[in-house]
């Protein structure tokens, strides 16, 4: 089975078995510099995060990918509950007459709606939409549940799947069916609704930066990019490794638009009948795509420890009677780490060489690898390898769990710092339109420029450069008014532009 002359490239090879499989595995990933999009798909498929299915535009999320989603869910759910939200569940189907009640909403979503027209043998009297989002059905239920100011606020979140008929799809980033959470809240006053909208945006930002190690810019969307039917939309935007932006989460202040359409009314403190103020907000499995494209490299995935299904992989070196010597020690180390809450995979598979396993778990992005052989046991140490820096260092077994816990924190921070540095290196402030166009043609990334607020200028910029207005950040601080990069008219805000996913 060995092929003569096959080298152990990369230096992480084993002398025990031929290394052919390892080389084959790594070489199957297209380098980022050659074709980033191909690299992304290679990583999704080879790392077994997701796979294509016979259903066009719909992916199967494989266990390894789903484990990342579960960690994302847990991290968010904990935060939603800590801020007073509760979970509930609403129907997958939305009767057509409900979906069409809010004019802008239906106009925005109708090109993407999948319809059910038959049930069993019979044509339906009224078509049912498969939810593209749930404002219509949840708003209808809120109208039933909310009677008085005493019933407010209502702070409900739903974990669900939604369907949006997409022409071009890519696993995690844009699929016809995807998983997400959608929060829907109703409030007594406009101020409370705005406070909720901002609270959630801040929660998303903190979550994505802390757990996914993805730096994001938070700000307000332009009129043309806001959610269909919303008064105002806010977003967090991240920068991917190819210099394209990814909208990582949105929070909408719906004003009274949906309350009026769905009759979410209550008797106020002054006994008058009032419309509620509502919000909605969501993040989706798209975040997994964001993690892949923020941190990955030519060897594959690099997972931030907080969302890594396995934070540590232990690879025993099969020398001599290793099953009696090395393996028990490896199990002991695993148990000690698990006792500290570390997620560990002990890869004791006999049929693969250590070198093959190193490449496999590197490709799948496990943050820390521990190699242990007879020599290490003699020296009471393990060989530790970091996925993010590729550093290898002998580490004493004594005190290993606490060393690992500290290291996982270090890796989490290092990944965030690296991503932030990348974003800063790929963010450019421009003052002229020529500069803007040159920036968009050359090195991709964010371009910051003054904008007059006109939708025409925004559309022209998009037509000329493919860049869209990502958002108007909160953090830009007090700025001296300037002139619109496109039309030269006075402009009081700076917007962030980028080509985006
Ligand atoms: Zn302008």
Rounded distance from Cα 489 to ligand 1 centre (Å): 6
Rounded distance from Cα 440 to ligand 1 centre (Å): 18
User: What is the spatial distance between Cα 491 and Cα 297, in angstroms, rounded to a whole number?
Assistant: 40
Q: Which two tokens stand for residue 291?
A: 């993690």
Q: What is the pLDDT of residue 24?
A: 52
Rounded distance from Cα 75 to ligand 1 centre (Å): 41
| CB atoms near residue 300 (< 10 Å) | 25
Rounded distance from Cα 445 to ligand 1 centre (Å): 21
381-387: long-range contacts (C-beta < 8 A, 24 or more apart)? 382/333, 385/358, 386/411, 387/302, 387/303, 387/362, 387/411
Q: Which of 202-235 are b and which e, b meaning 16 or more Cβ less than 10 Å from the residue's Cβ? A: bbbbebbbebbbbbbbbbbbbeebbbbbbbbbbb
Rounded distance from Cα 458 to ligand 1 centre (Å): 7
What are the 10-residue block averages of pLDDT along the chain, 501 residues in total?
Answer: 35 41 64 96 97 96 98 98 98 94 84 95 96 96 98 98 94 97 98 98 98 97 91 97 96 96 97 98 98 97 98 95 94 98 97 95 98 96 97 96 98 98 96 93 89 95 96 76 93 93 93
**DSSP helix/strand/coil, 152:** coil
DSSP alpha helices (H): ranges in 248-363? 257-262, 286-295, 326-339, 354-363
Residue 237's DSSP bridge partners are 217, 247
| Sign, Cα dihedral of 498, 417, 403, 319 | positive
Q: What is the pLDDT of residue 110?
A: 85
pTM of the model as a whole: 0.93
User: What is the spatial distance between Cα 25 and Cα 3, in angstroms, rounded to a whole number?
Assistant: 15
User: What is the spatial distance between Cα 60 and Cα 225, in angstroms, rounded to a whole number?
Assistant: 30
């Amino acid at each position: 089975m060995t092929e003569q002359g096959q080298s152990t490239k990369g230096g992480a090879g084993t002398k025990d078995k031929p290394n052919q499989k390892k080389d084959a595995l790594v070489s199957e990933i297209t380098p980022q510099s050659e074709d980033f999009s191909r690299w992304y798909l290679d990583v999704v498929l080879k790392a077994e995060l997701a796979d294509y299915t016979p259903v066009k535009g719909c992916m199967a999320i494989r266990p390894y990918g789903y484990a990342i989603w579960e960690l994302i869910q847990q991290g968010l759910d904990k935060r939603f509950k800590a801020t007073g939200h509760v979970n509930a569940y609403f129907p997958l189907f939305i009767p057509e007459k409900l979906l069409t009640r809010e004019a802008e909403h239906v106009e925005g979503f109708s090109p993407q709606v999948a319809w059910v027209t038959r049930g069993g043998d019979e044509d339906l009297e009224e078509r049912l939409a498969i939810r593209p989002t749930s404002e219509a059905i949840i708003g209808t239920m809120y109208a039933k549940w909310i009677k008085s100011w005493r019933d407010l606020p209502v702070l409900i979140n739903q974990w669900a799947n939604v369907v949006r008929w997409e022409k071009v799809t890519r696993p995690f980033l844009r699929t016809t069916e995807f998983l997400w959470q959608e929060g829907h809240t109703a409030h007594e006053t406009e101020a409370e609704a705005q406070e909720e909208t901002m609270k959630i945006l801040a929660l998303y930002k903190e979550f994505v930066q802390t757990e996914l190690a993805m730096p994001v810019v938070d700000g307000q969307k332009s009129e043309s990019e806001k959610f269909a039917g919303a008064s105002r939309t806010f977003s967090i935007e991240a920068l991917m490794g190819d210099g394209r932006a990814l909208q990582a989460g949105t929070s909408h202040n719906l004003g009274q638009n949906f309350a009026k359409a769905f009759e979410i009314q209550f008797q106020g403190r002054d006994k008058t009948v009032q419309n509620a103020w509502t919000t909605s907000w969501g993040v989706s499995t798209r975040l997994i795509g964001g993690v892949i494209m923020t941190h990955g490299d030519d060897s594959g995935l690099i997972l931030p420890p907080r969302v890594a299904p396995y934070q540590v992989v232990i690879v025993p070196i099969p020398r001599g009677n290793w099953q009696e010597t090395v393996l028990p020690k490896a199990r002991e180390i695993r148990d000690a780490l698990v006792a500290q809450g570390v997620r560990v995979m002990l890869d004791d598979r006999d049929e693969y060489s250590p070198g093959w396993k190193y490449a496999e778990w590197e490709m799948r992005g496990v943050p820390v690898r521990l190699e242990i052989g007879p020599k290490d046991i003699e020296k009471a140490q393990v060989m530790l390898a970091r996925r993010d820096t590729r550093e290898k260092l002998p580490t004493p077994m004594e005190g290993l769990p606490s060393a690992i816990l500290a290291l996982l924190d270090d890796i989490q921070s290092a990944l965030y710092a690296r991503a932030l540095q990348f974003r800063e290196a790929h963010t450019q402030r421009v003052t002229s339109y020529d500069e803007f166009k040159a920036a968009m043609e050359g090195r991709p990334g964010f371009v910051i420029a003054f904008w007059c607020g006109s939708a025409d200028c925004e559309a022209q910029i998009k037509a000329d450069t493919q860049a869209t207005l990502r958002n108007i950040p909160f953090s830009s601080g007090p700025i001296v008014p300037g002139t619109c990069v496109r039309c030269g008219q006075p402009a009081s805000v700076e917007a962030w532009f980028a080509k985006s996913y």
